Amino acid sequence: MKTGRVVYIMGSGRSGSTVLEVLLANSPDAVGVGELSHVIEDGFIKNKKCSCGEEFRKCGFWGRIVARVESERRDWERLNRILRGVEWHKGYWLTLLGLQKKKVQCDYKEINEVLLDAIFEEGEGKYIIDSSKYAGRALALSQQRDIRVICLLRSPSGLLNSFRKPNKEEQRPKSLVSLFLYYVYVTTSVRLAISRLPTQVFKLNYEDLVKNPSRVLDEISEFTELNLVDVKRKVEEKRMHTVGHLITANRIRKSQYVTLNTKIEVKDRHTLIEKVLIFVMQMWAKLLRL
């Protein structure tokens, strides 16, 4: 097994995880791979386009990964079901409670080792940045890899505003009820994951990253031991960051370069129902100590 550390971004959709990944992946010691939880479906099965513009199998980076991991014939449909069954929302509780079948655990471990080892070799980095977000993946990977988890959450108000925006390629806009249930589920899931990984999780609010990126990057660097000196300098000088080779991530992956937007979008007016919802979500997060 190739040694190296996985920096895993855990949290909710529309939380700014792609922006954070791009920043961290611009470290000279790291390679960003988007949401690895989806790479089998979006890459090996559907052959979607990489952020570089090439199809997955023709991409200069991912093509080399394919050549390595497909040296043996693999049933990607079955392996994708295993990944979902361990990491995604429905399988989270089995993973949390240790109730996954032994065969599933072995297959899950094997395919992750194959993928991660290939990425470490081809990416020539000491760190992999994985922004899959699922709490189940954080728990499962912690049992087989050196991992540091960044729990990234957005304020209820910011999340509400973000989920209003139409984007068919990401999670669809949510009704207020759906958003509330989603928020309760995700925050509860990550809270339980944090309790299992008390020394391996760094809690971060997206708004703090935007307000004071230099301080936050220093804290992340200390926590992960990732060299972020050049990244911090680029942010302070408002310079661009290269996107790299992302298969599954939000729409900014289609840009060759991105800059960190240090302005927080504020909606001047919320309806009474929205204000009540935001308040309840804030109280829920406070109860969970998030």
Query: Which pLDDT tens digit goes with each residue over 131-146?
Result: 999 999 999 999 999 9
Q: Please tell me the predicted confidence (pLDDT) of residue 257.
A: 76
- Judge whether residue 173 has pLDDT over 90: no
- Please give the mean pLDDT across all residues of the chain: 90
Domain count, the chain: 1
- Could you tell me the CA-to-CA distances from 170 to 5, 8, 272 in Å, in that order? 28, 19, 28
- Could you tell me the CA-to-CA distances from 286 to 84, 191, 279 in Å, in that order? 30, 11, 11
User: Partners of 49 in the beta sheet?
Assistant: 55
Give, as one character, the DSSP assignment of residue 173. P
- Could you tell me the CA-to-CA distances from 104 to 49, 94, 97, 100, 101 in Å, in that order? 29, 11, 14, 7, 5
Q: Please tell me the predicted confidence (pLDDT) of residue 162.
A: 83
Q: Please tell me the predicted confidence (pLDDT) of residue 205.
A: 96
Using 50, 70 and 90 to split pLDDT, how confident is the model at 3? confident
Q: Please tell me the predicted confidence (pLDDT) of residue 250.
A: 64
Using 50, 70 and 90 to split pLDDT, how confident is the model at 169? low
Q: Would you say 131 and 21 are in contact if contact means Cβ atoms under 8 Å apart?
A: yes
* 115-119 CB contacts, 8 Å cutoff, 24+ apart: 115/36, 115/39, 115/65, 115/69, 116/2, 116/4, 116/6, 116/145, 117/1, 117/2, 118/64, 118/65, 118/68, 118/69, 119/31, 119/33, 119/65
Q: Please tell me the predicted confidence (pLDDT) of residue 8.
A: 98
Query: Which pLDDT tens digit goes with each residue over 18-68?
Result: 999 999 999 999 999 999 999 999 999 999 999 888 999 999 999 999 999
Using 50, 70 and 90 to split pLDDT, how confident is the model at 164? confident
Q: Please tell me the predicted confidence (pLDDT) of residue 123.
A: 86
Query: Which pLDDT tens digit goes with each residue over 191-245?
Result: 999 999 999 999 999 999 999 999 999 999 999 999 999 999 999 999 989 888 8
Question: Mean pLDDT lowest for which of 70-74, 176-180, 200-204, 272-276?
Answer: 70-74
What is the domain range of residue 203? 5-287
pTM of the model: 0.93
Backbone angles phi, psi at 127, to 5 degrees: -135, 140
Pair of tokens at residue 268: 């001047």
Query: Which pLDDT tens digit goes with each residue over 65-112?
Result: 999 998 888 999 999 999 999 998 878 999 899 899 999 999 999 999
Question: Roughly how many angstroms between the first and final C-alpha of the chain, as a whole number?
Answer: 34
CATH number at residue 197: 3.40.50.300
